[in-house]
């Protein structure tokens, strides 16, 4: 997925023939061939000319609007997917517990297995007793998950796993400049949480785009209950990828010192903090806490966002073995394959959904 990220405030996206042109005060600062762009991310106060909007819609280029700090606002949507039969099958089958419960178990099982893998990697290096205990408990939760008979039970186990995992996540950080004690959002309270929130938003927007392209309805999920304005299916599908795509990337940036504390900014203005973060594409995990408006909010600054986004693009292109097709694929391709796999399950072409688990 070739992404054009527009982050510099006050710029304008226009069109010159088959070229997207980014301008500031009449001066061209970037040009990109339309054929090379699959997605456009618009951060904050950036204008799109009518010609640019028409070109984006005509070419079906997914365009996502975010705040300057990277919180999800909405997207420019063209014609909906034409596969109405797939959407009807989605609506029917996701209400059937015979399919819904095993599907929810697979989605959550993939997430917990990948969380456990991250802790296992840290444990191999550090040999910590508390990490070993968390790893063992996650394994037992996976065993219990296999016999869960209701969606509510699956949600409860996911909540226990999230609390345990985020309780141990800070022990994977080897850079003394960064600390992590608890997952916080709305708004994030420290640099690590700021990166997690930013990454989950990027992951969620990418997954919502994939579901739309395949012809699924991103609003109708199984693990995440239907809620007004929430893309439940996209949130379902990112569960197994949160540890793989975002958590791993955050640890890499911190431990390799690719980000520094000066790459973040704090907000303490009560008026600005009120309601901040509500538009993030995602749902608070049981281990997450909303921060009251009188507490600090920490966000990636302009330099930090650029560093993170470049690392995000590299992560998308990293390769892993994909067992279902028995070949090595880029992570962005694996995400796409998982959406295709779900579509086959919903249409009756495949018997069960297999989560992607790193090895």
Question: For residue range 233-272, what is the model confidence (pLDDT) as tens digits?
Answer: 999 999 999 999 999 999 999 999 999 999 999 886 443 4
In the structure encoding, which two tokens stand for residue 231, read together?
């893309």
Domain with CATH 3.100.10.20 in the chain: 3-66
- Residues 341-357 have a mean pLDDT of 95
pLDDT band per the 50, 70, 90 thresholds, residue 69: confident
DSSP state of 8: S
Higher pLDDT, 214 or 279: 214
pLDDT (0 to 100) of residue 79: 75
> Where does residue 323 rank: exposed (0-12), middle (13-18), buried (19+ CB within 10 A)?
exposed
pLDDT (0 to 100) of residue 293: 46
Separation of alpha carbons 38 and 209, rounded Å: 10
> Where does residue 1 rank: exposed (0-12), middle (13-18), buried (19+ CB within 10 A)?
middle
pLDDT (0 to 100) of residue 281: 53
pLDDT (0 to 100) of residue 187: 87
Asked if pLDDT for residue 276 goes beyond 50, the answer is no
- Residues 197-215 have a mean pLDDT of 94
Are the C-beta atoms of residues 100 and 123 closer than 8 Å to each other? no
In the structure encoding, which two tokens stand for residue 208, read together?
């919502």
What is the DSSP annotation of 219-283? T--SSSPP-TT--HHHHHHHGGGIIIIIIHHHHHHHHTT-S-GGGEEEE--HHHHTTTTTTSSS-
In the structure encoding, which two tokens stand for residue 335, read together?
């995400």
pLDDT (0 to 100) of residue 3: 87
pLDDT (0 to 100) of residue 287: 47
Asked if pLDDT for residue 339 goes beyond 90, the answer is yes
In the structure encoding, which two tokens stand for residue 294, read together?
């009188």
The CATH class for the domain spanning 3-66 reads alpha beta
Domain with CATH 1.20.120.920 in the chain: 84-346
pLDDT (0 to 100) of residue 229: 84
pLDDT in tens, 86-143: 999 999 999 999 999 999 999 999 999 999 999 999 999 888 889 999 999 999 999 9
Asked if pLDDT for residue 291 goes beyond 80, the answer is no
pLDDT (0 to 100) of residue 104: 97
pLDDT band per the 50, 70, 90 thresholds, residue 280: very low
Asked if pLDDT for residue 285 goes beyond 90, the answer is no
pLDDT band per the 50, 70, 90 thresholds, residue 1: low
Residue 299 forms beta bridges with which residues?
265
Residue 9 CA, distance from chain mean position:
24
Closest CA to 262 of 297, 296, 303: 303
Separation of alpha carbons 224 and 354, rounded Å: 18
pLDDT (0 to 100) of residue 268: 67
pLDDT (0 to 100) of residue 269: 47
Separation of alpha carbons 225 and 79, rounded Å: 26
Asked if pLDDT for residue 282 goes beyond 50, the answer is no
- Residues 301-330 have a mean pLDDT of 95
Cis peptide leading into residue 332 (ω within 30°): no
Asked if pLDDT for residue 289 goes beyond 90, the answer is no
Asked if pLDDT for residue 279 goes beyond 60, the answer is no
pLDDT band per the 50, 70, 90 thresholds, residue 295: low
Separation of alpha carbons 117 and 322, rounded Å: 16
Give the CATH superfamily of 84-346: CRISPR-associated endonuclease Cas1, C-terminal domain (1.20.120.920)
Percent pLDDT > 70 in the chain is 92
- Regarding pTM above 0.95, the answer is no
In the structure encoding, which two tokens stand for residue 63, read together?
């365009």
Contacts of 304 (CB under 8 A, 6+ apart): 194, 195, 259, 263, 264
pLDDT band per the 50, 70, 90 thresholds, residue 359: confident
Higher pLDDT, 228 or 194: 194
- Residues 322-332 have a mean pLDDT of 95
Separation of alpha carbons 168 and 212, rounded Å: 35
The mean predicted confidence, pLDDT, of the chain is 90
Residue 307 CA, distance from chain mean position:
17
């Amino acid at each position: 997925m070739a992404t054009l990220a527009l982050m510099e405030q006050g710029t304008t996206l226009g069109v010159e023939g088959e070229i997207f042109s980014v301008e500031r005060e009449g001066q061209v600062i970037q040009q990109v061939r339309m054929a090379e762009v699959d997605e456009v991310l618009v951060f904050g106060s950036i204008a799109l000319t009518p010609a640019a909007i028409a070109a984006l819609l005509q070419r079906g280029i997914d365009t996502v609007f975010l705040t300057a700090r990277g919180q999800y606002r909405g997207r420019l949507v063209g014609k909906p997917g034409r596969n109405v039969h797939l959407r009807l099958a989605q609506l029917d089958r996701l209400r059937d517990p015979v399919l819904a419960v095993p599907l929810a178990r697979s989605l959550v099982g993939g997430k917990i297995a990948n969380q456990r893998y991250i802790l296992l990697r840290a444990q191999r290096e550090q040999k910590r007793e508390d990490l070993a205990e968390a790893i063992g408990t996650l394994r037992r939760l996976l065993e219990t998950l296999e016999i869960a008979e209701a969606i509510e039970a699956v949600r409860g186990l996911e909540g226990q796993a999230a609390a345990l995992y985020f309780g141990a996540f800070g022990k994977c950080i080897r850079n003394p400049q960064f600390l992590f004690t608890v997952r916080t959002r709305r708004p994030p309270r420290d640099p690590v949480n700021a990166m997690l929130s930013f990454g989950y938003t990027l992951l969620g927007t990418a997954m919502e785009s994939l579901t739309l392209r395949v012809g699924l309805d991103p609003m109708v999920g199984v693990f995440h209950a239907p809620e007004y304005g929430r893309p439940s299916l996209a949130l379902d599908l990112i569960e197994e990828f949160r540890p793989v795509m975002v958590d791993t990337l955050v640890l890499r940036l911190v431990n390799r010192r690719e980000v520094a504390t000066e790459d973040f900014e704090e907000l303490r203005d009560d008026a600005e903090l009120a309601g901040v973060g509500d538009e993030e594409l995602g749902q608070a995990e049981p281990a997450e806490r909303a921060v009251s408006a009188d507490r600090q909010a920490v966000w990636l600054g302009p330099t930090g966002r650029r560093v993170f986004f470049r690392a995000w693009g590299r992560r998308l292109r990293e390769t892993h073995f994909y067992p279902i097709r028995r070949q090595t694929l880029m992570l962005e391709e694996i995400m796409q394959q998982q959406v295709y796999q779900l579509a086959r399950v919903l249409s009756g072409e495949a018997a069960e959904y297999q989560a992607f688990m790193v090895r």
